[in-house]
Amino acid sequence: MLNRQGRPTQAGEGESQRHETFTGNKALQQIEPLIFEIGHHETTGVDIDKPAPFKSRLGKHARQGEIGLPGLSEPEAMRHYVRLSQKNYGIDTGLFPLGSCTMKHNARLNEKVARLPGFSDVHPLQPVSTVPGALDVMLELARYLMTLTGMPAVALSPKAGAHGEACGMMAIKAAIAAKGEGATRNVVLVPESAHGTNPATAALIGFSVKAVPARPDGTVAVEDVKALLGPDVAAIMLTNPNTCGIFEPQIVEIAAAMHEAGAYFYCDGANFNAIVGKARPGDLGVDAMHINLHKTFSTPHGGGGPGAGPVVLSERLAPYAPVPFIYVEGGKARLVEHKADAPEGNDPFGRMTAFHGQMGMYVRALAYMLSHGADGMKQASEDAVLNANYIRAGLADLMSLPFPDHPSMHEALFDDDWLKGTGVTTLDFAKAMIDEGYHPMTVYFPLVVHGAMLIEPTESESKASLDLFIATLRDLAIAAKGNDKSRFTAAPHHAPMRRLDETRAARQPVLKWEKPAPVKEAAE
């Protein structure tokens, strides 16, 4: 059997594939111990002169004894972390079709400008008169976000998407309290298909959650929402485009129904990348929406953060935006850091975080926006949607689409109906993709679909890249329906690690390195 390079794929035709090495290393894949196993307490990779003798002012608080932190010299540290990096898959490695996460290209220009000393080396509490350029960045970012969403206000400070959700829901809670309905309006409607952060956020700030059923076509119907509406309902938290990758067709009617009932419309903006420059949340009746700068505006994901989650707000919620914010009067920008300094008519609900939010991410997002421009951002959304639908078209005859009646937006959702009876699960399929050099798609989310596979290619992929991806998934799909189960159930075969035992990790949690017991005791 030959692979697509025309080389033999069977062991025996080439050299043996399971040749054990003395070190356990496999060429570029190096086994790397923990720093606690290779470092020493007396070693350091930083040279600092000992200060001249002085009289300590620590009083009785001086630390005694070992801290338990080994150090590495600079070459050792460099090698350690380079080796660790080689065990990671990133966007720069290959296609990263993680649905709902928007793993698009991270431009290094954005990294470069964020490191300009005027941005990276300024303190949040140095005199405001010494940071006019920082206020410029915040105002310019705010202008872009408000224009792209068609919303009149934005709270920049939330640190990530879920923090932005909390901020938006707090603004809603404050607005309800201001109307004197705080005691009675305490229910938040959340569709079954929603991401787990939505119900968690609502509960966090004291709302109770009611689920809106999912329709068989993957959308939320206005009549289902209306059936739940009453004087106790504060808001709906609706993701749009939704977690099934569909633009909610009745979103305008749902917004109107909420407003008519005296309630608010919180939109989860995790999937904003599908519609930038194509549709504005402000035109759809949204009252608040967070924007994941690390998704839509590529500030990057960094292995799980840092993110940034600014929240755009409607006219009705804008007065409750938290401090700090910048207020422009008479052409002059003023940084408002305290409730008491808020301009007339504003009643900030409080503060989300120390200081002014994720400045480093503001700069990166602004660099993305300036680079793309209005035309480039619109094109990026169109390409993201086009790419997702192209993948869908390339796989629809082999894999099953739970919601074939709606076009996909920027992500294509499949279920595991097509795997029934094969003995291969969604997880197995995902792990087999690793062997083929791909990061798997999002699996088992959204929960409303059985064995979900959510594929989001983003606009960063070329047609050639998509064609190979489609061909690979077709090959895998045919194999899954055939006889070679070990390609799936034992996958991954070629990753730095085989499949990891997550049950064991949770049953007997080992959350830090412990010094091994002396050999003598261990032998007993």
Partner 1 sequence: MRYLPLTETDREDMLARIGVTDVDALFSDVPNGKLLKEPLDLPRAKGELEVERILGRMSAKNTAAGSVPFFVGAGAYKHHVPATVDHLIQRSEFLTSYTPYQPEIAQGTLQYLFEFQTQVAALTGMEVANASMYDGSTGTAEAVLMAHRVTKRRKAVLSGGLHPHYIQVVETLSEMANDEVVALKPDVRATEDILAAIDDSVSCVVVQSPDVFGNLRDLKPIAEKAHAHGALLIAVFTEVVSLGAVVPPGAQDADIVVGEGQSIGNALNFGGPYVGLFAAKSKYIRQMPGRLCGETVDADGRRGFVLTLSTREQHIRRDKATSNICTNSGLCVLAFTIHMTLLGQAGLTRLAEVNHANAVKLADALSGVKGAEVLNESFFNEFTVKLAKPAAEVAEALAAKGILAGVPVSRLLPGAGLDDLLVVANTEVNTDEDRAAFVAALAEVL
Q: Which of residues 57-96 bind partner 1 (CB under 8 A)?
A: 57-64, 66-72, 74, 77-78, 80-82, 84-93, 96
Piece of the chain touching partner 1 by CB under 8 A; list 15-23, 108-116, 313-321, 412-420: 108-116
Judged by beta carbon, residue 8 or residue 404, the one nearer partner 1 is 404
Dig out the tokens for 408 from the structure: 């996909």
Both structure tokens of 28: 């570029």
Instruction: State the DSSP string of 205-266.
Output: TT-EEEEEPPPTTSS--HHHHHHH-STTEEEEEEESS-TTS---TTHHHHHHHHHHTT-EEE
CB of 20 to partner 1, least distance (A): 12
308 sits near partner 1 (criterion: CB under 8 A):
yes
Distances (CA, A) of 237 to 148, 210, 268: 20, 11, 7
In whole angstroms, the minimum distance from the beta carbon of 442 to partner 1 comes to 8
Shortest distance (Å) from residue 13 CB to partner 1: 25
Q: Which of 379, 398, 472, 474 forms a contact with partner 1 (CB under 8 A)?
A: 379
Q: Which is nearer to partner 1, 481 or 513 (CB)?
A: 513
Contact by Cβ (8 Å): 153, 321: yes
The footprint of partner 1 on residues 152-181 (CB under 8 A) is 159-163, 165-166, 170, 173
Cβ atoms 381, 457 nearer than 8 A: no
Q: Which of residues 199-258 bind partner 1 (CB under 8 A)?
A: 199-206, 209, 246-249, 251-252
Candidate residues 7, 18, 19, 55; the one interacting with partner 1 per rule CB under 8 A:
55
- 114-139 residues labelled b (16+ CB within 10 A) or e (exposed): beeeebeeeeeeeeeeebeebbebbe
Residue list 285-304, contact with partner 1 (CB under 8 A):
294, 300-304
Q: If DSSP codes are grouped into helix, strand and coil, which group holds residue 40?
A: strand
C-beta of 278 vs 481, nearer to partner 1: 278
CB closer to partner 1 out of 403 and 418 = 403
The interface with partner 1 within residues 408-467 (CB under 8 A) comprises 408-409, 430-431, 434, 439-440, 445, 459-463, 465
Position among 4, 13, 26, 133 found at the interface with partner 1 (CB under 8 A) = 133
Alpha-carbon span 1 to 16, nearest angstrom: 16
Contact 289, 266 (CB under 8 A): yes
- Out of 15, 20, 375, 524, the only residue in the binding site for partner 1 (CB under 8 A) is 375
Q: What gap in Å lies between CA 22 and CA 215, rounded to an integer?
A: 58
> How far is 37 from 22, CA to CA, in rounded Å?
20
Of the pair 262, 376, the CB lying nearest partner 1 is at 376
DSSP strand pairing (453-455 vs 412-414): antiparallel
Determine contact, residues 218/246, Cβ cutoff 8 Å: yes
State the minimum distance, in angstroms, from the CB of residue 2 to partner 1: 26
Q: Considering only residues 329, 344, 502, 524, which one is a binding residue for partner 1 as defined by CB under 8 A?
A: 502
Size of the site for partner 1 (CB under 8 A): 209
Which of 326, 376, 425, 450 contacts partner 1 by CB under 8 A?
A: 376
Residue 382 touching partner 1 (CB under 8 A)? yes
CA distance 436 to 292: 30
C-beta of 265: minimal distance to partner 1 in Å? 14
CB of 182 vs partner 1, minimal distance in Å: 10
The answer to whether the CB of 266 falls within 8 A of the CB of 235 is: yes
* CB-nearer residue toward partner 1: 122 or 229: 122
| Nearest distance from C-beta of residue 478 to partner 1, angstroms | 20
Q: Minimum distance from CB of 320 to partner 1 (Å)?
A: 11
Pairing of strands 264-268, 288-290: parallel
**Least Å distance between CB 372 and partner 1?**
6
CB 221 within 8 A of CB 192: no
Q: Shortest Cβ distance from residue 32 to partner 1 (Å)?
A: 7
Counting Cβ atoms within 10 Å, is residue 490 exposed (0-12), middle (13-18) or buried (19+)? middle
- Is position 193 an interface residue for partner 1 (rule: CB under 8 A)? no
Q: Taking CB under 8 A as the rule, which mask of x and - marks residues 257-276 in contact with partner 1? A: ------------------x-
Q: Which is nearer to partner 1, 15 or 66 (CB)?
A: 66
What would the DSSP string read from start to end of 263-329? -EEEEE-TTGGGTTTT--HHHHT-SEEE--HHHHT----TTT------EEE-TTTGGGPPBPEEEEE
Supply the DSSP symbol for 475. Answer: H
CB 456 within 8 A of CB 99: yes
- For residue 17, state whether it binds partner 1 (rule: CB under 8 A): no
Minimum CB distance to partner 1, residue 22 (Å):
16
Residues 462-501 that bind partner 1 (CB under 8 A): 462-463, 465, 490, 492, 495-501
Q: Residues 315 to 374: which contact partner 1 by CB under 8 A?
A: 322, 337-338, 340-341, 349-361, 363, 366-367, 369-374
Q: Which letter does DSSP use for residue 10 in this model?
A: S
